[in-house]
Amino acid sequence: MSKIDPILLSVYARTFKSITDEMSISMEQTTRSPILCEAKDYVTGLYDADGRMLEQTENLPILAFSLAPVCKHIRKLFDGEIYPGDVFFHNDVFSLGNQNNDVAVFKPVFVGEQLVGWTAVKGHQADIGGNVAGGYNPNAVEVWQEALRIPAVKIVERGKLRRDVWNLIFANVRLDIVQHDMKAEMGACTVGERRLVELLNKYGVDSYEAHKQALFDATRKMMEAEIAKIPNGNYAGEGYVYFDGRHVGSKYTIRVDIEVQDRHIKFDYSRTDPQTNGFVNGTYTSSASATILTLLQMVNPDIPHNEGMVQPIEIVIPEGTILNAAYPKATTFGNHLCPPNADAIQRALAPVMPDRVTAGWNNLLASLTTGIDPGTNEKYVDIGFMGLKGGSGGMRGTDGYDHIGMIDASGGVLDQDYEMFEQQTPHTLIRHELLTDSAGAGEWRGGLGVETVFEIGSDDTQLVTFGDGDFEPAFGLFGGKEAGLNFIRLNYPDGQTVVPKNKDLITGVPKGTVYHQVASGGGGYGNPKKRDRKLLREEVRNGVISKDAAMRDYGMTEAELKA
């Protein structure tokens, strides 16, 4: 075994990260769909020969932690049939995928004839077949009504495209842009492959193998040290899911039992409610990813994201629960069960980690519009990222982030550029601005939410809504106040107002309809009356907090406001 050089160990760790960062830049520059090139709804990763995580660039963390399980699955499934120049596609939720629209590319990396690693990219595709354009079908009860399933399939073998397989896949996808975006994923994997080969040619495979294992060991010890700061014990918390898309008034509970024992932490979801008969279900991979990313928000941010990081973490999610639906249940909503899952974890650990948890983040209420652009006569799909991003919860010593979005994205998903929004869709943006008083009050307030208004520019538009944020506001902690609720309203040209359900499919929306959305703020942390008065006066002057709210929620007097 090669001797471990601590300086070279750092070189490996930082180079692994630079490789996935460069892959991410490649995706940003070469993809065509706004979902990818603007919102950055994708992740890039680097793995060893056995599929163990070396590093990731987590534009969307819930996707990032879903790549390694699939990489290990492909390594085992195709053992003996993996060659230089191969490329694999995968999205299947029943072979460790997280969501059907999140389609991954995996590329094995060889030095000579030796398999030394994998590069991988996963991105949310604008369409992947199924019953509803864009992929979100609130009426689905089984996977075939949601999307084309792609179990691990070799799309390129020894450098040669398997055109029959390619044609089979894209004959079942509505939008031509998806082919180009998948080629961009393949290209980003090739960028990563080149960089890893250059690194190994420089230092040698033996050095790489030894230092990789040393990096895993060091990272495991770092995570164990963070877990050791949590008092030993058993903790329980709950999060709530509202409406399964089929039964009005339905409500489901996510229950987590957390056991901390010295340097090991266990998350057990055995008491979570059973799976639904709709599309509001998760997969093991999406739910476990949510657990990991929530824990990571409470520990040392400098811990490298590799296999060693997850080794002290045990996650139990029985099949048949809402977080791990059994085949062939519908699961498209699964990524969006992360917020109530995170709520359960935050509530469980708040009493023993008061300086590490946050108050509640604004819960998701999102929409997707599809139709024919009358200006180009072409199909379009748009996920309204700018409208769905509310504020995060405050925490001890820090206000929440304004307009950051879902906790499962952890701020990774970006807004659409306004002009690009109007070029990529027929819609006209009227308003998109931070919303006064949307944050929960606290000594450290929540982050602000936003209000979004646009005019729909296509006839016979289809609107899909999904989320829970119109039922439960972001909760406050330790005396902090909850935030407001979200809403989506459609004001038709004839004066009719339609309020979609939080999981809904509305067809025939006419051109000229005004779409109005509020994504509210995050919850507050601590007693609002202890908030700094000078800061409050500035926030009132700047329109962050209204005068009435400053007096009602924060106990400000007229004299204090005028001081």
pLDDT for 409 equals 62
Q: Both tokens of residue 401?
A: 């982030």
Region 373-385 average pLDDT: 93
Q: For 399-437, what is each residue's pLDDT tens digit?
A: 999 999 877 666 667 788 899 999 999 999 999 999 999
pLDDT given at position 61: 80
Q: Is residue 83 part of a domain?
A: yes
Residue 290 forms part of a structural domain = no
Instruction: State the pTM of this model.
Output: 0.94
Q: What pLDDT is attached to residue 96?
A: 94
The answer to the question of residue 332 being in a domain is: no
Q: Is 544 a domain residue?
A: no
Q: Is the residue at 418 inside a domain?
A: yes
What is residue 5's predicted lDDT score, i.e. its pLDDT?
93
Total tally of structural domains belonging to the chain: 2
Which pLDDT score is estimated for 3? 86
- Contact call for residues 477 and 359 (beta carbons, < 8 A): yes
Does any domain span residue 321? no
| Tokens found for residue 159 | 């450098």
Q: What pLDDT score was predicted for residue 411?
A: 62
Of 221, 252, 282, the one marking the end of a domain is 221
Question: What are the pLDDT digits (tens) for 440-471?
Answer: 999 999 999 999 999 999 999 999 999 998 99
Mean pLDDT on 18-45? 94
Of the three residues 166, 195, 221, the one that is the final residue of a domain is 221
Q: How far apart are CA 235 and CA 257, in angstroms?
A: 6
- Same-domain check for residues 217 and 365: no
Are 446 and 524 in contact, with CB atoms under 8 Å apart?
yes
- Asked if 472 and 391 touch (Cβ cutoff 8 Å), the reply is no
> Helix and strand tally (H, E) in the chain?
15, 20
pLDDT at 272: 98
Buried b (16+ CB within 10 A) or exposed e, 260-284: beeebbebbbeebbebbbbbbbbbb
pLDDT of residue 506: 96
Task: Please say whether the beta carbons of 549 and 441 come within 8 A.
Answer: yes
State the chain's mean pLDDT as an integer. Answer: 95
Please, are residues 185 and 176 in contact by the beta-carbon 8 Å criterion? no
Domain annotation covers residue 560: no
Q: Any bridge partners for residue 498, and if so which?
A: 490
In one-letter notation, the amino acid at residue 414 is L
User: What value does the mean pLDDT take over residues 115-136?
Assistant: 94
CA angle at 385 for the pair 94 and 407, rounded to the nearest 5°: 60
Contacting residues for 259 by C-beta, under 8 A, at least 6 apart: 233, 234, 265, 266, 268
**Residue 1 reports pLDDT greater than 60:** no
Among 204, 221, 238, residue at a domain's last position:
221
pLDDT at 346 > cutoff 60? yes
Q: Which of 21-25, 135-139, 320-324 has the lowest mean pLDDT?
A: 135-139
First to last CA, the chain: 70
Amino acid at 139: N
Residue-level pLDDT at 410: 61
Domain that holds residue 123: 6-221
Q: List CB contacts of 479: < 8 A, sequence separation 6 or more.
A: 442, 443, 526, 527, 528
In a domain, 247, yes or no: no
